[in-house]
């Protein structure tokens, strides 16, 4: 079993390049099924990206990877059904449904896997695809799906701005007959990145706030695209720098994508300088508490940054309050933080974090992707050594996290 050994109490200082966004590259990889030969740059080396590559290969695509470039040749798809094992590797596997149906007219796949963060029903995906003309039947945990000819454009209003449902509807609508208008769509930067890729391949997608208009085209062609920076990786490093009283310069980042995160760090006492593609953080010796952090759909505070910020505020002066409005089971990391001496009380969707003088190293286990990142941050700030297992979660969303932290002064190593 692999584990991380982390010796805490070291101030982080230096430069951190930010890799491409996990939550952008995954739907874009699904979108490559709709075109011919696609070339993507700034693709991170993550287990979730590897899982998406396995799905594409299973479908008959030819993939080539060189450094951060992935080329996908989807001209000769030979297989339509996805085995349960691949679907269970990651939640985003459901995004392949709209793309396979649009390309092939039928599909059979099981329900997706991913982090257990509570109920994350795919009913919005299914209903959206049905509105576009799909026939979808559930049989023994599998979705058997079919369309007659092409998808047909429709007016769709989402009851909640689901990122995944928005992406699946986009993938289905881009080659549909006629116009699709999606209301109350998700507004995350990753949605815009997917639209940019589709347009680069000949699509006609227009985004105006929470309304997306798609004029269906016959087919997509070859395309080249550079994936946006990972705003959650950036937030994680910023929280690590804040927790250790450090000074970090993040490069290759988009500051406007962190417009809800940076003010929270400033409230905690950090000095932030944002450039065009960089962010510099200077943290005080000890952070101040933040009165209220409420997760919301973009442009609100991202749920994926909740756990990293909570870890940083465990040793802040005063009491911070978190309200988790996206996933009801996103406080699983709290139990591990308590093992380190944190004082956190959870009641439903609310968590009160009463800052302590110091955390202590402990044996920890990752609960999920962002919870694992929170434990790394807490361990970096703690006194003594921490041991962290369950690294498969971290590897889903962070490329060489321990190496990146070592370059800025952390003492962290992986035992295999």
The whole-number average pLDDT for the span 322-343 is 94
Domains and CATH numbers, the chain: 3-19+229-415 (3.65.10.10), 22-226 (3.65.10.10)
Mean pLDDT, the chain, integer:
94
- Is the pLDDT at 323 greater than 90, yes or no? yes
**Residue 414, annotated as binding a ligand:** no
- Is the pLDDT at 23 greater than 80, yes or no? yes
Distances (CA, A) of 27 to 22, 128, 210: 9, 16, 19
Give the β-pairing of 106-110 and 135-139: unpaired
Distances (CA, A) of 72 to 37, 53, 177, 220: 6, 9, 26, 14
**Residue 400, annotated as binding a ligand:** no
Helix axes 22-31, 163-173, angle to 10 degrees: 20
Predicted local confidence at residue 408, as pLDDT: 98
Predicted local confidence at residue 92, as pLDDT: 67
**Most confident option among 23-37, 67-81, 128-142:** 23-37
- Is the pLDDT at 393 greater than 60, yes or no? yes
- Is the pLDDT at 22 greater than 70, yes or no? yes
Q: Using 50, 70 and 90 to split pLDDT, how confident is the model at 278?
A: very high
- Note the pLDDT tens digit of each residue in 182-208: 999 999 999 999 999 999 999 999 999
- Is the pLDDT at 374 greater than 90, yes or no? yes
- Is the pLDDT at 9 greater than 70, yes or no? yes
- Is the pLDDT at 116 greater than 60, yes or no? no
Predicted local confidence at residue 159, as pLDDT: 95
Share of the chain above pLDDT 90, in %: 86
- Is the pLDDT at 353 greater than 50, yes or no? yes
- Is the pLDDT at 239 greater than 70, yes or no? yes
Predicted local confidence at residue 138, as pLDDT: 85
Contact of 150 with 180, CB cutoff 8 Å: no
The whole-number average pLDDT for the span 364-380 is 96
- Is the pLDDT at 228 greater than 80, yes or no? yes
**Residue 304, annotated as binding a ligand:** yes
Q: Using 50, 70 and 90 to split pLDDT, how confident is the model at 215?
A: very high
**Residue 326, annotated as binding a ligand:** yes
Predicted local confidence at residue 122, as pLDDT: 85
201 a catalytic residue: no
- β-sheet bridge partners, residue 70: 40, 65
d(CA 321, CA 2): 34
Question: Which of 61, 104, 108, 115 is labelled catalytic?
Answer: 115
**Residue 23, annotated as binding a ligand:** yes
* Gap between the terminal Cα atoms of the chain: 7
Burial, 313: exposed, middle or buried (Cβ in 10 Å; 0-12, 13-18, 19+)?
Answer: buried
Neighbours of 3 (CB within 10 A): 18
- Note the pLDDT tens digit of each residue in 243-255: 999 999 999 999 9
**Residue 124, annotated as binding a ligand:** yes
Share of the chain above pLDDT 70, in %: 95
Predicted local confidence at residue 77, as pLDDT: 86
Predicted local confidence at residue 109, as pLDDT: 81
Contact of 215 with 204, CB cutoff 8 Å: yes
Distances (CA, A) of 184 to 45, 133, 210, 281, 337: 32, 20, 5, 34, 36
- Helix (H), strand (E), coil (C) string for the chain: CCEEEEECCCCCEEEEECCECHHHHHHHHHHHHHCCEEEEECCCCCHHHHHHHHHHHHCCCEEEEECCEEEEECCCCCCCEECHHHHCCCHHHHHHHHHHHHHHCEEEEECCCCCCCCCCCCHHHHHHHHHCCCEEEEECCEEEEECCCCCECCEEECCCCCHHHHHHHHHHHCCCECEEEEECCCCCHHHHHHHHHHHHCCCCEEEECCEEEEECCCCCCCEEEECCECHHHHHHHHHHHHHCCCEEEEECCCHHHHCCCHHHHHHCCCEEEECCCEEEEECCCCCECCCCEEECCCCCECHHHHHHHHHHHCCCECEEEEECCCCCCCCCCHHHHHHCCCEEEEECCEEEEECCCCCECCEEECCCHHHHHHHHHHHHHCECEEEEECCHHHHHHCCCHHHHHHCCCCEEEEEC
- Note the pLDDT tens digit of each residue in 46-97: 999 999 999 999 899 999 999 999 999 999 887 667 767 777 666 667 888 9
């Amino acid at each position: 079993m692999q584990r991380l050994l982390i010796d805490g109490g070291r101030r982080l200082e230096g430069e951190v390049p930010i890799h491409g966004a996990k939550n952008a590259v995954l739907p874009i990889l699904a979108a490559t099924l709709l075109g011919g030969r696609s070339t993507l740059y700034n693709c991170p080396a993550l287990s979730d990206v590897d899982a998406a590559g396995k799905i594409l290969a299973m479908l008959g695509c030819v993939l080539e990877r060189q450094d951060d470039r992935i080329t996908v040749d989807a001209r000769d798809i030979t297989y339509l059904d996805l085995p349960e094992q691949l679907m269970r590797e990651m939640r985003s596997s459901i995004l392949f449904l709209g793309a396979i149906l649009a390309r092939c007219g039928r599909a059979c796949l099981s329900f997706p896997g991913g982090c257990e963060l509570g109920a994350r029903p795919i009913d919005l995906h299914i209903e959206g695809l049905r509105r576009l003309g799909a026939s979808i039947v559930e049989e023994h945990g599998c979705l058997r799906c079919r369309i007659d000819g092409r998808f047909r454009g429709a007016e769709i209003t989402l009851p909640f701005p689901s990122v995944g449902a928005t992406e699946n509807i986009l993938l289905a609508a881009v080659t549909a007959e006629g116009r699709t208008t999606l209301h109350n769509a998700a507004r995350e930067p990753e949605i815009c990145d997917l639209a940019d890729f589709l347009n680069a391949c000949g699509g006609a997608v227009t985004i105006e706030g929470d309304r997306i208009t798609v004029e269906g085209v016959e087919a997509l062609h070859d395309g080249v695209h550079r994936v946006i920076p990972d705003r959650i990786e950036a937030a994680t490093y910023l929280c690590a720098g804040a927790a250790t009283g450090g000074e970090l310069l993040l490069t290759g980042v988009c500051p406007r994508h962190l417009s809800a995160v940076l003010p929270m760090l400033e409230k905690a006492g950090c000095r932030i300088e944002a450039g065009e593609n960089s962010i510099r953080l200077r943290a005080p010796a000890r952070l101040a508490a933040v009165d209220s952090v409420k997760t919301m759909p973009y442009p609100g505070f991202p749920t994926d940054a909740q756990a990293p910020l909570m870890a940083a505020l465990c040793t802040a002066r005063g009491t911070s309050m978190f309200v988790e409005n996206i996933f009801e089971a996103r406080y699983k990391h709290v139990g591990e933080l308590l093992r380190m001496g944190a004082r956190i009380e959870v009641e439903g969707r609310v968590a009160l974090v009463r800052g302590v003088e110091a955390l202590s190293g402990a044996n920890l286990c990752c609960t999920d992707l962002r919870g694992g990142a929170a434990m790394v941050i807490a361990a970096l700030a703690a006194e003594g050594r921490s041991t962290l297992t369950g690294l498969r979660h971290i590897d889903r969303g962070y490329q060489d996290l321990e190496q990146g932290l070592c370059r800025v002064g952390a003492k962290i190593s992986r035992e295999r």
